């Protein structure tokens, strides 16, 4: 997120020195269905460096989870999946192209150089195997060690993520763990091979607030310790504010706004981001006014509205002249350094609306 080329137009850099650790360009993930082509992700570009955290924010159907699975190569892991997805664009992990790569090669990267934490640890852990066995399995796929060594490593990892009596709990089944412990075990499993990229898909959505706080702290600590690149995917702006250095807001399979988290929270540029902020009740503010919801419902990914996908729900759709919002799809443009947004309104206009109309009501 540090470089300035925004869309696929820029020439790809050679792998190695200078190239970002994770470089996603013009990623498209489409699923042909009986009802039509579902464009879950439709031209998404971003970069991420080691040691940094990128937050991807969006509602259900925005394409945020599909993006993460695409990076992990999980849309193409089995023959069956490969038949049901169309992917294009580039995903480069440390210079290595993943989209066109041999699925088996991507498989060898999975779990070793890039790992993932899922939303609901109860359903994401296999109910029949002990927690220890599942971690051991993850370690031994990529390391040629005997079971004993792997088990020692599993206990070490459980200890590291804060599970009490790890040498005993290692033989428990997932259902014997509490929700928070399960997510810790999941994290232990993801980190067992010291991955350089960690993707956390709604890591705390299924958890209670006090446990969520523990897990967010844990992720932050572990990142500092391992220096890995982290992608946090969530619908909760609060969670990204806790973790993320950079932010990417998705709507209808595309990025509508991205930039440093500080800048976005201070002065968001896109009407959809305003809508998200206005929709959220705030615990830190006592206001009796009504919330400012976004009208309507999220767009169909089969018939994405023409022009700006957000136009049917945007209160400012008529501000730009010549019906631009409904005919021309806005490109990401840089408003301030490193802060991009895809909106037809002029940056000055957006700034005025934010400071005069939106911010005072939040």
Partner 1 sequence: MFSYLIRRVISAVILLLIVSAVTFGIFFLLPKIAGQTTDQLAQQYIGKSPTPADIAAVKRNLGLDKPVYEQYWEFLKGIFTGVDYKFGPEAARCHVPCFGYSFKTHIEVWPEIRSRLPVTLSLAVGAAVVWLVSGITTGVISALRPGSLFDRLSMGVALAGVSLPMFFTGAIALALFTYQWPIFERSDYVPLFDNPFLWARTLVLPWVTLAFLYSALYARLTRAGMLETLSEDYIRTARAKGLGERTVVVRHGLRAALTPLITVFGMDLGLLLGGALITEQVFSLQGVGAFAVQAITANDLPNILGVTLLAAFFIVLCNLVVDVLYAAVDPRVRLS
Partner 2 sequence: MSENAKKKSGKAGEPAETEQTREPAEAGAAAEAQESAEAGAAEEAGKGGESAESAEPDGADVPDGAASAESEQPAEAAEAAEDAEPAEPAEAVDEKPAAPVASAAAVPAPRSDADGVRTPLLRVRGLTRHFPITKGLLKRQVGAVQAVDGIDFDVYPGETLGVVGESGCGKSTMGRLITRLDEPTGGTVEFEGQDITHLSPGKLRPMRRDVQMIFQDPYGSLNPRHTIGGIVSTPFRLQGVEPEGGVKKEVQRLLELVGLSPEHYNRYPHEFSGGQRQRIGIARALALKPKLVVADEPVSALDVSIQAQVVNLMDDLQDELGLTYVIIAHDLSVIRHVSDRIVVMYLGKIVELADRTSLYTTPMHPYTKALMSAVPVPDTKRRTERDRILLKGDVPSPINPPSGCRFRTRCWKATETCTTTEPPLVSLKDGHKVACHHPENAPGPGTA
- Kindly tell me which residue out of 297, 306, 336, 355 binds partner 2, with binding defined by CB under 8 A: 297
Tell me the closest approach of the beta carbon of residue 150 to partner 2, in angstroms.
27
Q: Is 57 exposed, middle or buried (0-12, 13-18, 19+ CB in 10 A)?
A: buried
Handedness of CA 247, 249, 253, 256 (dihedral sign): negative
Binding residue for partner 2, selected from 237, 250, 342, 343, defined by CB under 8 A: 237
Residue 125 near residue 186, CB atoms below 8 Å: yes
Residues in contact with 297: Cβ distance below 8 Å, sequence separation at least 6, in sequence order: none
Report the interface residues with partner 1, using CB under 8 A.
69, 72, 74, 77-80, 107-112, 115-116, 118, 120, 123-128, 137-138, 141-142, 173, 175-176, 186, 189
- Distance set, CA 150 to CA 134, 145, 190 (Å): 11, 7, 14
Please state the closest distance from residue 274 (CB atom) to partner 2, in A.
11
Residues 6+ apart with CB under 8 A from 282: 362
Q: Which of 15, 278, 305, 347 binds partner 2 (CB under 8 A)?
A: 278
351: number of CA atoms within 13 Å, CB side?
7
Q: Output 115 or 317, the one with its CB closest to partner 1.
A: 115
Work out whether 95 is an interface residue with partner 2 (CB under 8 A): no
Q: Which of 115, 255, 294, 343 binds partner 2 (CB under 8 A)?
A: 294
- DSSP symbol at 218: H
**Residue 74 interacting entry, from partner 2, partner 1, none, C-beta within 5 to 8 Å by type:** partner 1
Rounded to the nearest whole angstrom, what is the least distance from the CB of residue 183 to partner 1 in the complex? 12
Among 15, 95, 103, 298, binds partner 2 (CB under 8 A): 298
Nearer to partner 2, 241 or 304 (CB): 241
Q: How far apart are CA 185 and CA 192, in angstroms?
A: 10
Burial class (CB in 10 A: 0-12, 13-18, 19+), 81: middle
What residues have CB less than 8 Å from 176, skipping those under 6 apart? none
Shortest distance (Å) from residue 317 CB to partner 2: 16
10 is in the binding site of which of partner 2, partner 1, none (Cβ under 5 to 8 A by kind)? none
Q: Closest separation between CB of residue 32 and partner 2, Å? A: 22
Burial 212-221 (b: 16+ CB within 10 A, else e): bebbbebbee
Supply the Cα-derived Rg of the chain in whole angstroms. Answer: 21
> Out of partner 2, partner 1, none, which partner does residue 79 contact, by CB within 5 to 8 A per kind?
partner 1
- How many beta carbons lie within 10 A of that of residue 273, not counting itself? 24
Which residues, numbered 120-139, are part of the site for partner 2 (CB under 8 A)? none
Instruction: Please check whether residue 215 is in contact with residue 204, taking contact to mean a CB–CB distance below 8 angstroms.
Output: yes
For partner 1, give the closer residue by CB, 109 or 276. Answer: 109
- Residue 256 contact, options partner 2, partner 1, none, Cβ 5-8 Å cut-off depending on partner type: none
User: Which residues bind to partner 2, rule: CB under 8 A?
Assistant: 59-60, 178-181, 208-214, 216-217, 235-242, 261-262, 265-266, 275-284, 286, 288, 290-295, 297-298
């Amino acid at each position: 997120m540090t470089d300035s080329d925004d869309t696929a137009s820029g020439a790809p850099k050679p792998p190695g020195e200078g190239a970002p650790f994770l470089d996603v360009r013009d990623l498209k993930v489409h699923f042909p269905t009986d009802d039509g082509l579902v464009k879950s992700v439709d031209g998404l570009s971003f970069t991420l460096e080691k040691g940094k955290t990128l937050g991807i924010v969006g509602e259900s159907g925005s394409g945020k989870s599909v993006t993460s699975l695409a990076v992990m190569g999980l849309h193409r892991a089995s023959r069956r999946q490969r038949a049901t997805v169309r992917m294009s664009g580039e995903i480069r992990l440390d210079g290595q192209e993943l989209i066109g790569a041999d699925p088996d090669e991507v498989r060898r990267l999975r779990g070793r150089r890039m790992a993932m934490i899922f939303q609901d640890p109860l359903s994401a852990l296999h109910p029949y195997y002990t927690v220890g066995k599942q971690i051991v399995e993850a370690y031994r796929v990529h390391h040629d060690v005997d079971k004993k060594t792997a088990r020692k490593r599993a206990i070490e990892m459980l200890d590291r993520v804060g599970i009490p009596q790890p040498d005993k709990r290692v033989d428990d089944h997932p259902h014997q763990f509490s929700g928070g412990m399960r997510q810790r075990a999941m994290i232990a499993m993801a980190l067992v091979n010291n991955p350089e990229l960690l993707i956390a898909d709604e890591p705390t959505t299924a958890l209670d607030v006090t446990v969520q706080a523990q897990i967010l702290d844990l992720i932050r600590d572990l990142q500092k310790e391992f220096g890995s690149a982290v992608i946090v995917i969530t619908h909760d702006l609060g969670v990204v504010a806790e973790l993320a250095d950079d932010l990417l807001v998705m709507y209808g399979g595309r990025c509508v706004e991205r930039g440093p988290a500080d800048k976005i929270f201070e002065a968001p540029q896109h009407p959809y981001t305003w809508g998200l902020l206005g929709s959220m009740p705030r615990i830190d503010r006592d206001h009796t006014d009504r919330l400012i919801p976004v009208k309507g419902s999220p767009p169909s990914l089969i018939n994405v509205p023409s022009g700006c996908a957000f136009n049917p729900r945007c209160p400012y759709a008529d501000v730009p002249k010549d019906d631009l919002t409904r005919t021309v799809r806005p490109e990401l443009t840089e408003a301030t350094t490193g802060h991009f947004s895809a909106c037809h309104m002029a940056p000055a206009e957006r700034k005025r609306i934010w400071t005069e109309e939106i911010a005072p009501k939040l």
